[in-house]
Structure 1
Amino acid sequence: MEVKARAPGKIILSGEHAVVHGSTAVAASIGLCTYVSLQVPPSNENDDRLTLQLKDMALEFSWPIGRIKEALSSLGGPFPSTPTSCSAESFKLILALIEEHNILEAKLSLASGVSAFLWLYTSILGFKPATVVVTSDLPLGSGLGSSAALCVAFSAALLACSDTVNIDMKQEGWLVFGESELELLNKWAFEGEKIIHGKPSGIDNTVSTYGNMIKFRSGNLTRIKSSMPLKMLITNTKVGRNTKALVAGVSERTLRNPDAMSSVFNAVDSISKELANVIQTPASDDLSITAKEEKLEELMEMNQGLLQCMGVSHASIETVLRTTLKYKLASKLTGAGGGGCVLTLLPTLLSGTIVDKVIAELESCGFQCLIAGIGGNGAEICFSASS
């Protein structure tokens, strides 16, 4: 049997950085996904290994099940219905298994992702042989939630193979989990994210699990649904950034200029709330959709100006802003800033010719351009008989 799972990446539509200081922020799923295929060999086959293939990186990790059992049997899995944190001791045992593969220095950052996989696999399915293949539309480390999408897709495929969730395997096409299953899936994905990031907010995995959009403030998440189709051009500047340093920089600026920065954060809070209202209010015809898109463009531009006030823009981001402004398109950075990705709203009535011109100009600067629908489905699974 083969189970496939897919989980979307995410963008922050408004409120990044300010959310750390008590403002509202809005995040949305994007139509770019990470895919996980999990194939369990028939019991009569002699395949007794757990293999993980990271196709986009041409990397493969493989362990005899006996070796995994020997190394990790003290962890006491599987416990699929009880999401559990990976302790420091467990992490050391898992890391020892990964180190047997002699990962190249350049790929060392992958160790945390592979660790998350081994923890989720043994916790949910125990010590069974399988081949797991990962592919993704999402660029790594660019602020689009690639690690959360990976943990959600892993968890979805593993739970679908366990006896914990109730899903009709005979149904064809992509299927969604029920509400209680989604909650379990989200909790497991969060445990994976903790292995990769230490102290994640939980926003990325929640958006990837449930899809659509989320409004969040001071740890409270509210799921919201878009009433209009939204399409974005996502420009990856390919400039790496240090999120911790950028967050610290905003905090330092706030200490130096408390009154001014308080006004900035209040303004961002208002923008996020207004943006959520615009997105949720039904649009009756093309005219009202255009009016709503114009309102969103204005809110995005205002939010970008405030992010510049916080000191988190970058020369590469400004290049994208200048380029899209030439074509009267609104853009803002998404996530930490200092590089990373920039969002540009593509209005419904915008001609394809203009989009092509903008992309050509941005790509000539060395940037990567992706077009994605915003606020679509969350995690989904699909069953097929092994070929």
Structure 2
Amino acid sequence: MASITVSVPGKIYLLGEHAVVYGKPALLAAINKRVYATVSEARSSEHHIEAEDKQFVANILSLVSQHLKTESIPPLSVKVTSQLKKGYHLGSSAATAAAVIAGCLYFLKKIWNPELTNRLAFESEKVIHGNPSGADNTAVVFGGIIWFRKELTYLKSIWQLPVRRTKLLRNFYLLDTGKPEETTKDLVAAVGEGRENQPGIYERLFNRNEFETKKLAEALKKGDETEFMGAIKAGSRTLEKMGVVSTRVSVLIKQIEKIGGAAKILGGGGKKGAAGYLLAYHRDVKIINHFTGQRKITCENAILGEEGIRLEKG
């Protein structure tokens, strides 16, 4: 074949980030922004990579080679294009890894196996995040709304929720607060340090986060907007108390609540100022656009529950 193209969506955490690292559940959703990887035969004796992070892609190719139990795979041309902002907690690294891995496996061996792609993408995530939960790669590979819990080091509970295309999933917006100074790896480590120093307090925060995550899933299934928004607000408070929400972003969240919405950080968050995208829910697009326009904040509609990995061409 001349070339193949695979696409993978980005993801957001509806709730459960950080607590998920310690065995609590997380609710994630694939979004309508994707990463595309096109794989073909290279015209030279070496791999040709077009990507924002060429070394990361090179590492992924080495991982594929190891899986196929060969010293090296044939020289490939790999082009990665992305609709996801890197460093904004949208699962950019997980989506890139999954797209490249799936593209290479299909191009080289005609293997189309999302489970395998997910497992190898998790290995790639370890290079970027140190101690990832495995939730990001799972959400982007399988898509939809994902209930994820790491039960043991070797055992994970993964369920794609049977949620219909409710209007609740179409009333979300991504508000750009700026790129965080810290990486997800930094913020995961900071929560770990806080847990080590104050185990009782953090255990209570993780337990409350779990309660609100379950409440959110039930509200989503029932289509109960009031309960849905309440769970987002309460879950957001637990993240603030974990120390991953800066004062500036915390103020912005409370302002959104005052105009009838709900909001929370995505993924890692941000301690010092910017936190990447803020996930905001509001039923009235005019009100949220007026709010962000007054403050000169970039605002994009985000559709949740989108399709996972797919073969675009091949």
TMscore range, shorter length: 0.7 to 0.9
Alpha-carbon spacing, 1:341–1:50, altered in 2? closer, same or farther (3 Å) = same
* Correspondence 1:272 to 2:213: yes
Give the match's secondary structure for 1:303.
Answer: helix
* Matched letter for residue 279 of structure 2: L
Which 4+ residue blocks in structure 1 deviate beyond 6 angstroms?
A: none
- String of CA shifts for 1:159-201, please: whole Å, max 9, x gaps: 2213342xxxxxxxxxxx5xxx111221222233234344432
Alpha-carbon spacing, 1:381–1:299, altered in 2? closer, same or farther (3 Å) = same
Q: Distance in 2 between matches of 1:213 and 1:131?
A: 33
Equivalent in the alignment of 1:6: 7
Which segments of 5 or more consecutive residues in structure 2 lack a partner in the other structure?
none
Equivalent in the alignment of 1:239: 180
Equivalent in the alignment of 2:37: 36
Which segments of 5 or more consecutive residues in structure 1 lack a partner in the other structure?
58-109, 166-176, 282-288
Q: Distance in 2 between matches of 1:130 and 1:263?
A: 50
Alpha-carbon spacing, 1:117–1:239, altered in 2? closer, same or farther (3 Å) = same
Equivalent in the alignment of 1:115: 58
Within 5 Å, which residues of 2 pair with 1:1-387? 1-40=2-41, 48-54=45-51, 57=52, 110=53, 112-120=55-63, 122-123=65-66, 126-165=72-111, 181-219=113-151, 220-225=156-161, 226-227=163-164, 228-229=166-167, 230-231=169-170, 232-237=172-177, 238-254=179-195, 257-281=198-222, 289=223, 292-338=224-270, 339-347=275-283, 350=284, 352-362=285-295, 364=296, 367-383=297-313
- String of CA shifts for 1:52-75, please: whole Å, max 9, x gaps: 112xx5xxxxxxxxxxxxxxxxxx
Alpha-carbon spacing, 1:239–1:122, altered in 2? closer, same or farther (3 Å) = same
Q: Distance in 1 between matches of 2:233 and 2:259?
A: 14
Alpha-carbon spacing, 1:302–1:134, altered in 2? closer, same or farther (3 Å) = same
Asked whether the 8 Å contact 1:240–1:340 carries over to 2, the reply is no
Q: Distance in 2 between matches of 1:305 and 1:342?
A: 14
Q: Distance in 1 between matches of 2:181 and 2:78?
A: 29
Q: Distance in 1 between matches of 2:247 and 2:254?
A: 10
RMSD of aligned Cα (Å): 2.7
Asked whether the 8 Å contact 2:21–2:133 carries over to 1, the reply is no
How many residues of Structure 1 are paired with residues of Structure 2 in the alignment? 297
Shift of 1:340: 2.9
Q: Distance in 1 between matches of 2:312 and 2:23?
A: 40
Shift of 1:19: 2.8
Q: Distance in 1 between matches of 2:199 and 2:75?
A: 57
- String of CA shifts for 1:137-178, please: whole Å, max 9, x gaps: 11112221100000001012112213342xxxxxxxxxxx5x
* Matched letter for residue 160 of structure 2: I
Asked whether the 8 Å contact 1:14–1:300 carries over to 2, the reply is yes
- String of CA shifts for 1:247-270, please: whole Å, max 9, x gaps: 444445445555444333222111
Shift of 1:245: 4.5
Give the match's secondary structure for 1:305.
Answer: helix
* Greater Cα radius of gyration, structure 1 or 2: 1
Alpha-carbon spacing, 1:323–1:311, altered in 2? closer, same or farther (3 Å) = same
